[in-house]
Amino acid sequence: MRRDVPRPDWSRPLRALCALAIATGTAIALPGAAVAASPDAGLFGAADPTFDGVFRQSVALLGLRAVDAPAPAPAVQWLAAQQCLDGSFEAYRVSIRTICRPPDPENFTGPDSNSTALAAMALRAQGQPGNAQRAIGALMASQNADGGWGYILGSSSEANSTGLVLSALYGAQGQGVRQARSRARAYLATQQVDCSKTGDFGLTFPPSKTANALASAQALIGIAGTDLPFAPPAAYGSLAGTTCASAMKAKVAAYVSDLLMRTRGRIPSPMDPADVDWNATASAVIGLGAASLGRNGVQAGLQALQANVAASTVSRGNVAPASVGALLIVADITGKDPRRFGTPATDLVRALLSSMRR
């Protein structure tokens, strides 16, 4: 027969220790307890993630997958943990223990299409199809009546966001996906500038009626009919003879390629034309690679990115994970060594992995 033996109350000394710690502001470590990891362990980049955490993590993971570099498990886990209950993603959740805020286009808060689309592609590429499909479901449920998406889910449609979502939809399966893609493509067709002469082929970003570089570059990936990452093009088709009557893919590619050549791969920033928008430049190269069109534009963009690898991957002294991830994709589609990219030769994989928080 088992006898009941009085058990020591271990909670008493523990309560006393906690009370002392609270009173003195001293941190305590229990015997045998492991040191807690940072709440953002696995996140790439030291900069504040408030406005771009999910975005930069997703592009970084896509870049690693593009060059077949193994992604650290904590990096994938961090991204998956950021997902909202309905499958969508906010730019960054300070605490994953609290529910996501509802989309609020007026105050520009809540789940957004860019984070959700890129996370869907990144998680799919990193072997998390369930999470990816839940993100696709959230995107399809929030498609606007005109077929497009805005930045905050439910906000007015624009080409940038619609292009990214369309890319994510091309890697998705399930009921209604084909129809959602068709409606997105139809919306993007309405965003092309009025074509009056050769070269007027770009996509607009409201309220402007002129072609927008980033909108055209990002949308081109989806218009090309692929998600990220994609296989490097075996060959590039010619854009000679592109007219207003040409297919949308050829027209947008012609605009993007011509822009890269005219600017020598240094697309001006919309905020300050004296600065270079390296994000738009990398996106333009990736868009042309997805479309397998515009070899001359790709070369112009590649040369500029190689010559300015430090300027395009470092921000305020910190590694910019999204920029490094984009360059990894550029390196893959152009056949360049991602571990010796540009001048001076830069190990993009090492730079990205070394930026991961522990």
Q: What is the 3-state secondary structure (H, E, C) of 255-298?
A: HHHHHHHHCCCCCECCCCCCCECHHHHHHHHHHHHHHCECHHHH
Residue 209 pLDDT grade (very low, low, confident, very high; cuts 50, 70, 90) = confident
Chain centre distance of CA 120: 10
State residue 30's pLDDT score: 37
Closest CA to 158 of 172, 144, 168, 179: 144
Residue 264 burial (CB count, 10 A) = 12
> How many Å apart are CA 138 and CA 298, to the nearest integer?
34
Which pLDDT belongs to residue 20? 32
Mean pLDDT of 128-153: 98
What's the pLDDT at 198? 64
Higher pLDDT, 279 or 199: 279
What pLDDT does residue 266 have? Answer: 97
What confidence score (pLDDT) does residue 32 get? 40
Domains of the chain, earliest start first = 47-354 (1.50.10.20)
Confidence at residue 108, expressed as pLDDT on a 0 to 100 scale = 93
Q: Would the pLDDT of 309 be above 90?
A: yes
Q: Are 214 and 252 in contact (CB under 8 A)?
A: no
Mean pLDDT of 101-109: 94
**Position 197 pLDDT exceeds 90:** no
Give me the pLDDT at residue 37, please.
64
Instruction: Calculate mean pLDDT across residues 74-100.
Output: 96
Q: Are 122 and 321 in contact (CB under 8 A)?
A: no
Predicted confidence (pLDDT) per residue in 279-302, tens digit = 999 999 999 999 999 999 999 999
**3-state DSSP assignment of residue 1:** coil
Q: CA dist 77 to 9, 172, 205, 268, Å?
A: 37, 21, 34, 36
Mean pLDDT, all residues of the chain:
90
Amino acid at 50: T
> Do the Cβ atoms of 318 and 354 come closer than 8 Å?
no
* pLDDT score at 36: 52
Q: What is the largest CA-CA distance in the chain?
A: 97
| Structure tokens belonging to residue 226 | 């692929």
CB–CB of 19/57 below 8 Å?
Answer: no
C-beta of residue 148 within 8 angstroms of C-beta of residue 157: yes
